[in-house]
Amino acid sequence: MTAPTDPKHMKIAVLGTGANGAGIGADMARAGLDVTFIDQWPANVESIRRHGIRVDVGGELRVTPVRALHLCDVATLVEPFDAVLVLVKAYDTRWACELIKPHVAPTGFVVGVQNGMEGETVVDVIGEDRGLDAVIEITSAMYEPGLVERHSGFERSWFAVGAPRPAARKHVPAAASLLRHAGTVEEVDDIRSAKWMKLVLNAGELVPSAILDLSIVDCARINSMRPIMIRAGNEAIRFAKEEGLTIRAMFGMEGLAAANPDTFMETILDELVAHYVKPHSRSTFLQDWIKGRRCEVDQINGSVVEGLARHGLGAPVNRALIEFAHDIERGRKQRGLHNLPPLLDRIEELEAAGFPAIAV
């Protein structure tokens, strides 16, 4: 059996149709592709069924009719999918892949289009010859069921696609062709390095701004917070160096600073704030907290702490950020600017206790 290579001949599923998944799925559907939305938020599915998926791009509302399924509807599927894009939270990856695995064609593939380092999970469930991974840089939000606020247009949406195992490389061009309906796509050989470089940025931007209850731009403008954001990313850079990962430019960035470990985090943060997010864009972590759900701090910042610990190194900034995030999620703290002084104090305490600051 031969897998279809023309996207117009493929049956495609987007598993996880929040802001990013629904936005990408809408782009593909408007291009005439056969796309099925699958989501765990019942109100979102019902809204999409009634009104189509609505995407607000710079004040222009685009409405696209699509097929939308609840998770329980997956058991009723008969025809398999040739391609599945997984856009659930990182901590939901394993069960989501197990759910969709019986409905992937033998010649099909599954690609994790997520933050975090879940490529190995996709491979473990789906198989070495069918599991792909992808970096995603899209800024969007969904506060109302079925309505996406797309903050980054096509020209400022970027992906990198690769295969964690050589056996799945044959699927990379097809996956890239799907994502090119939503933005610029780079096909990469070393997807692990590319994914970690995105995690470097995520470690410094997502939870710090959420803890202070600010947009990413407003957080980066605070003189005492910007260095913390950069230090959190630099701790992740230190892990990359210890693991032998490639420090590489992202989002089409150019110049030596974008691939220099000493300047990568500062450069990519400035690029993000200047060109990829709007002044009011909230991080995905803050959006999660507003909706009353937990964020991916353990999968992002926790990966930095755990990774450096394996090399006998500390990550005081990321450790402090995790502590504050957990306290907020457990109701012991409230998000807001009042967290800044105690956060700075806690970082100093951790450094004094034997978790030294990391010099990249």
Residues 39-60: pLDDT tens digits? Answer: 999 999 999 999 999 999 989 9
Regarding beta strands 67-70 and 131-137, do their DSSP bridges make them parallel or antiparallel, or are they unpaired? unpaired
Task: Give the pLDDT mean for 117-134.
Answer: 98
Residue 17 has a pLDDT of 98
Is residue 136 pLDDT above 80, yes or no?
A: yes
Question: Where does CATH 1.10.1040.10 sit in the chain?
Answer: 193-352
Instruction: Please report the sign of the dihedral spanned by the C-alpha atoms of residue 247, residue 263, residue 230, residue 289.
Output: negative
**Residues 28/181, Cβ–Cβ less than 8 Å:** yes
Task: Give the pLDDT mean for 163-167.
Answer: 98
- The second-level CATH assignment, the architecture, of 7-189 is 3-Layer(aba) Sandwich (3.40)
Residue 355 has a pLDDT of 62
What distance in Å separates the CA atoms of residue 151 and residue 148, rounded to the nearest whole number? Answer: 9
Residue 1 has a pLDDT of 62
Average pLDDT of the residues of the chain:
95
What distance in Å separates the CA atoms of residue 105 and residue 103, rounded to the nearest whole number? Answer: 6
Structure tokens at 330: 């457990």
Is residue 237 pLDDT above 60, yes or no?
A: yes
Residue 6 has a pLDDT of 83
pLDDT tens sequence across 247-296: 998 877 777 777 889 999 999 999 889 888 899 999 999 999 999 999 99
Nearest to 306 by CA among 295, 318, 296: 318
> Which region among 140-149, 167-176, 247-256, 283-292 has the lowest average model confidence (pLDDT)?
247-256
Residue 38 has a pLDDT of 98
Is residue 78 pLDDT above 80, yes or no?
A: yes
pLDDT higher for 63 or 58? Answer: 63
Alpha helices in the chain (DSSP H): 19-30, 42-51, 93-100, 119-126, 172-179, 191-211, 216-220, 226-243, 264-271, 284-290, 297-310, 316-329, 340-352
Is residue 15 pLDDT above 60, yes or no?
A: yes
Task: Give the pLDDT mean for 65-90.
Answer: 98
Structure tokens at 95: 């069960």
Residue 359 has a pLDDT of 44
pLDDT higher for 344 or 257? Answer: 344
Is residue 360 pLDDT above 50, yes or no?
A: no
C-alpha separations of 58 from 62, 87, 140, 157, 273 in Å: 11, 23, 11, 14, 17
Task: Give the pLDDT mean for 291-304.
Answer: 97
pTM (global) more than 0.85: yes
Task: Give the pLDDT mean for 87-114.
Answer: 98
- Quick one: pLDDT band at residue 200, thresholds 50, 70, 90? very high
Is residue 11 pLDDT above 70, yes or no?
A: yes
Task: Give the pLDDT mean for 302-324.
Answer: 97
Question: Where does CATH 3.40.50.720 sit in the chain?
Answer: 7-189
Residue type, 116: G
**Residues 297/285, Cβ–Cβ less than 8 Å:** yes
Provide the CATH topology of domain 193-352: N-(1-d-carboxylethyl)-l-norvaline Dehydrogenase; domain 2 (1.10.1040)
Is residue 246 pLDDT above 50, yes or no?
A: yes
Percentage of residues in the chain having pLDDT higher than 70: 97
